[in-house]
Structure 1
Amino acid sequence: MDASSGHVPRGRVLRGHRNPGHRPGARQCGAAEGAPGPVSDEQQRRQTLGSGVRHLIDAGGQLGSVLRRAGQRVGEALRPITRAIARRTDPVVRTVSPLGWVVIGSLLVGGALGWRYGWIELRTLAVLLLILLLVAVAFTFGRWNYDAAIELGNRRIRVGQTALGRVVLHNTSGRPAASSILELPVGRNVAAFRVPRLAAGEEHEEVFQIPGRRRSVVRIGPVRAVRTDPLRLLHRQRQWTDPVELFIHPEIVRLEAVALGFLKDVEGVTTQNLSSSDVSFHALREYVPGDDRRSIHWRTTARVGKLMVRQFEETMRSHLLIVLSLDPESYRDPADFELAVSCAASLAYASLSEERAVTIHTAHDTLSFPNAVVMLDQLSRLELSRGGSSTLREVALEGARRVPDASVAAIITGGVEPAELRGAQLAMPPEVATFALRCDATLTTSRRRASNLIVLDVPTLADLPGGVRSLR
């Protein structure tokens, strides 16, 4: 080594040499901090591969979007065709029972394997299943030649009564009709009758009865004629009639409508109370000191030679608002709710029989009706409901808003606390005469006051007339 020139021969390693300006632990500043180093061939290949994969994914996403839009267009174009095919095939598909689909599947699989591999057993099984299907088709398919009707002796009954009805089936064709099964849905149940073979023009009748165990609206029908094979592989039916409704009305008792209270009104119902100053003319009578001279009928006075005055009947109105709670938590037992509905029906029936207006308000609806029959029909549909979150006070407040001309209000609920009834009363206008009924079989018949609210405890429907009489 030439020390003066500092040259290091190639292949020689200088050991132990230290740069005078070097400090241990100090960074070398030969390159800018953070500058990338040289990229190897392997890294360059990975970057190129990743870029290609990303481009491929983007292209696949674009292709997927194009295919999805094309599929939507094709689906929209084919939708009328598929709907038409579904309408055509749906009756056939519904004709086959689950057991029938098993038989059809076994026939196809067994026949394909039997003839593909020459298995006699599978061929024989396929032939037998085919015969069963052909026999089922012979039993099931054919023309319908019936004309049916549902007849009810009375479409409206009370709880505890029994409704009688019949189904009449008539062969309207000119040839005999095969035997079939007649199905009659009654509520959630289905009654089945066997219809014998009917000759041309022959008629068959099936009589039924429906006990009115509870207040409800029972849907009867439609009448369906059913044909099936002995193994029930196929099941074909046809609807013959529209459904009819049987109304089972709540039980009611007779009440004295006069006990409900009335308010004077110039457009109300006339009463038997005579008055000398009103708008409903009744008759003429002789003048007595103190009568209003404006009521003198001068023409009659001139004819008879003495003063005659007009006599009027007082006109009064009563619009009864019934607030009925449908909250299940207000009633100890469903029978208590039935009692509440019967009380509401009895009050409404008494007022309607006197030709006075009645409105029944619940948390879900406001019921108004022109006569007692429609009122009982609507009450037959009421059911307890957990859907409403309104309190009894809120229900009463909404009822007062919807019926601003109410003169009497009845709040009917279960065995709730009197304070809750008092809150509902405060939601009523002060000029409305309000009373409350608590319907609970565990209570004793009583009449009490919660401030100025009269509360009647009614354990049975027979106790209602006495409670209403106490309101006079």
Structure 2
Amino acid sequence: MPTRQGWTIAVSAVVAIVVGRVFGILELFVIGAALAVAVVLAVLVVQLFRPRVHVHRWVHPSMLTVGDAGRVDLTIENRGSVRSPRVSLVEPVGTASSARLTIATLGAGQHVDAGYRVPAQRRGVLTIGPTTLERYDLLGLAGGTTIAAPATEVTVAPQTIEVAMPSLGHGVLGRHLLALAQRTGVGEFHSLRDYVPGDEPRSIHWRASARSEDLKVRQHEAQGVRRCIVILDREAASYPAPVDDAAADVFERAVTISASIALSAERAGLTTRFVTGGDIDLRGPDVATHALERLARLEPGPAIDDVERDPGEGLGLVVIVTSSPDRPAWRQTDRSTDPTLTRIGIFTGSGGDGGSRLTVDASTLESFREQWNRLAGTRGLTHELHTAASA
């Protein structure tokens, strides 16, 4: 097809031919005819000598994290039997930008490598491509495009921040867990002691109690946290339509914090489980990686049904991430009957921390870091994490 310059020349040629014919000006008639022939020849050259260039694309890492920058490597190969013309390679990156490269002529069978960096600015799916080759004649009168490679979708996972898992006896949460371990008898058997109010009935050693005047309970050597369940409330009613940027960040903070805790727990060696609305219940190996893939595309949607009882053993954490302590996702998890699980609420809205010492005000990421470190009894780490796929 003619370019804008080509159409201008074509119109000028018609005008020159008409004027030359009407007024009998031979020179003007010849000039118009020459311009018309130039445009026609340019279109024929572009259409008949299309480049037989193949483009192969690699995107790495295969999953990006918000704030990272990935790389796209391209191999451009001439699969024709003659030398390829000079072309421009155009590759859309998302909806707002594109990469443009100029490829010099290549001999038959020759190839050239090129690449560029891709910043990951927001979570979701980043579409790269399809790749098009733009071919123009030497005068720029005609041009044509050819699809050289299909589009590729790259998952951009939410930002993740490393947080420390609690250890027994340290911080508010650690002291709570230590008392819970002693009361419930979680861990290896150590000795017998007298029963005190608050001990779990199942820790009573009935045979030893029968030989004594007082009830005896098993004293166990306390073990650390063994498992972690991350529950993200994605109910649409918990995140009403935002009226400003601060309101829009409430759900995004919930996603970021859920991803951070799941990834940190898995890297700390805890048996990790991720649950959210829409019957999403992830368990087993590589839970954090699978959770990040789901969270990359997650939007507010259905509420959480009753969470299936966790079959794990040992002390565990149940971390509920929602907008406020008034939401059903927080209230319904209070019905958990497993005494070895400790419930922690993280609230990303402006409703405060719920008035409990085992809740976190996450109205900002800075507040989340500070209060989580207070719970865990450590100054913690604040650098961003990267998934195994990103390494």
Q: Which of the five TM-score ranges fits, normalised by the shorter chain?
A: 0.5 to 0.7
Counterpart-to-counterpart distance in 1, 2:363 and 2:280: 24
1:343 Cα deviation (Å)?
A: 0.6
Amino acid at match of 2:125: V
* Number of residue equivalences: 313
Residues 70-120 of structure 1, C-alpha deviations (whole Å, 9 max, x = no match): xxxxxxxxxxxxxxxxxxxxxxxxx44455455556656765776588665
Counterpart-to-counterpart distance in 2, 1:167 and 1:423: 49
- From 162, 169, 177, give the equivalent of 2:69: 162
Q: 2:336 aligned with 1:422, yes or no? A: no
1:385-400 matches, within 5 Å, as: 398-400=303-305
Corresponding residue of 1:323:
233
Q: Secondary structure at the match of 1:321?
A: strand
- From 238, 251, 256, give the equivalent of 2:165: 256
Corresponding residue of 2:296:
380
Higher relative contact order (CA 8 A, sep 6+): 2
More helix by share: 1
Q: 2:266 aligned with 1:360, yes or no? A: no
Q: Secondary structure at the match of 1:253?
A: coil
Residues 368-390 of structure 1, C-alpha deviations (whole Å, 9 max, x = no match): 4452222212322346x7xx7xx
1:202 Cα deviation (Å)?
A: 1.9
Q: 1:468–1:174: structure 2 CA closer, same or farther, 3 Å change rule?
A: farther
Corresponding residue of 2:136:
228
- From 104, 110, 117, give the equivalent of 1:209: 117
Counterpart-to-counterpart distance in 1, 2:49 and 2:208: 89
Q: Secondary structure at the match of 1:346?
A: helix
Corresponding residue of 2:215:
none
Counterpart-to-counterpart distance in 2, 1:448 and 1:116: 89
Counterpart-to-counterpart distance in 1, 2:29 and 2:345: 79
Counterpart-to-counterpart distance in 2, 1:425 and 1:135: 67
Residues 232-260 of structure 1, C-alpha deviations (whole Å, 9 max, x = no match): 44331222222223333322313427869
The answer on whether the counterparts of 1:110 and 1:125 sit within 8 Å (CA) in structure 2 is: yes
Q: 2:98 aligned with 1:190, yes or no? A: yes
- From 393, 405, 412, give the equivalent of 2:322: 412
Q: 2:127 aligned with 1:219, yes or no? A: yes
Could you tell me which runs of 5 or more consecutive residues in structure 2 were left unpaired when the two chains were aligned: 168-172, 178-184, 190-204, 210-222, 311-316, 337-341, 378-391
The answer on whether the counterparts of 1:157 and 1:248 sit within 8 Å (CA) in structure 2 is: yes
1:207 Cα deviation (Å)?
A: 2.2
Counterpart-to-counterpart distance in 1, 2:47 and 2:343: 65
Among all aligned residue pairs of Structure 1 and Structure 2, give the percentage whose two residues are the same amino acid: 17
Q: Secondary structure at the match of 1:332?
A: helix
Counterpart-to-counterpart distance in 2, 1:368 and 1:111: 75
The answer on whether the counterparts of 1:184 and 1:223 sit within 8 Å (CA) in structure 2 is: yes
1:457-468 matches, within 5 Å, as: 457=362, 459=364, 460=366, 462-463=369-370, 465-466=372-373
Alignment TM-score, normalising by the size of structure 1: 0.53
Q: 1:439–1:427: structure 2 CA closer, same or farther, 3 Å change rule?
A: closer
Counterpart-to-counterpart distance in 2, 1:289 and 1:205: 76
Amino acid at match of 1:256: M
Corresponding residue of 1:340:
254
Counterpart-to-counterpart distance in 1, 2:139 and 2:166: 64
Q: Secondary structure at the match of 2:37?
A: helix
The answer on whether the counterparts of 1:255 and 1:468 sit within 8 Å (CA) in structure 2 is: no
1:465 Cα deviation (Å)?
A: 3.3
Q: 1:208–1:230: structure 2 CA closer, same or farther, 3 Å change rule?
A: same
Corresponding residue of 2:347:
438
1:53-72 matches, within 5 Å, as: none
Counterpart-to-counterpart distance in 2, 1:289 and 1:233: 97
Counterpart-to-counterpart distance in 2, 1:290 and 1:166: 71
Q: 2:39 aligned with 1:132, yes or no? A: yes
The answer on whether the counterparts of 1:352 and 1:358 sit within 8 Å (CA) in structure 2 is: no
Q: 1:107–1:180: structure 2 CA closer, same or farther, 3 Å change rule?
A: same
The answer on whether the counterparts of 1:456 and 1:467 sit within 8 Å (CA) in structure 2 is: no
1:437 Cα deviation (Å)?
A: 2.5
Q: Secondary structure at the match of 1:239?
A: strand
Q: 1:326–1:180: structure 2 CA closer, same or farther, 3 Å change rule?
A: farther
1:149 Cα deviation (Å)?
A: 1.0
Root mean square deviation of aligned Cα: 4.6
- From 248, 260, 263, give the equivalent of 1:349: 263
Could you tell me which runs of 5 or more consecutive residues in structure 1 were left unpaired when the two chains were aligned: 1-94, 263-270, 276-287, 293-313, 389-394
- From 43, 56, 81, give the equivalent of 1:149: 56
Q: Secondary structure at the match of 1:449?
A: coil
Q: 1:458–1:360: structure 2 CA closer, same or farther, 3 Å change rule?
A: same
Q: 1:240–1:410: structure 2 CA closer, same or farther, 3 Å change rule?
A: same
Residues 132-152 of structure 1, C-alpha deviations (whole Å, 9 max, x = no match): 331343256414332221123
Q: 2:290 aligned with 1:290, yes or no? A: no
Amino acid at match of 1:149: H
Amino acid at match of 1:431: R
Amino acid at match of 2:233: V
Q: Secondary structure at the match of 1:198?
A: coil
Counterpart-to-counterpart distance in 2, 1:199 and 1:425: 64
Counterpart-to-counterpart distance in 2, 1:377 and 1:108: 59
1:328 Cα deviation (Å)?
A: 4.8
Amino acid at match of 2:346: L
1:436 Cα deviation (Å)?
A: 3.7
Of 199-208 and 115-124, the range deviating more from structure 2: 115-124
Counterpart-to-counterpart distance in 2, 1:453 and 1:236: 64
Larger Rg: 1
Q: 1:339–1:350: structure 2 CA closer, same or farther, 3 Å change rule?
A: same
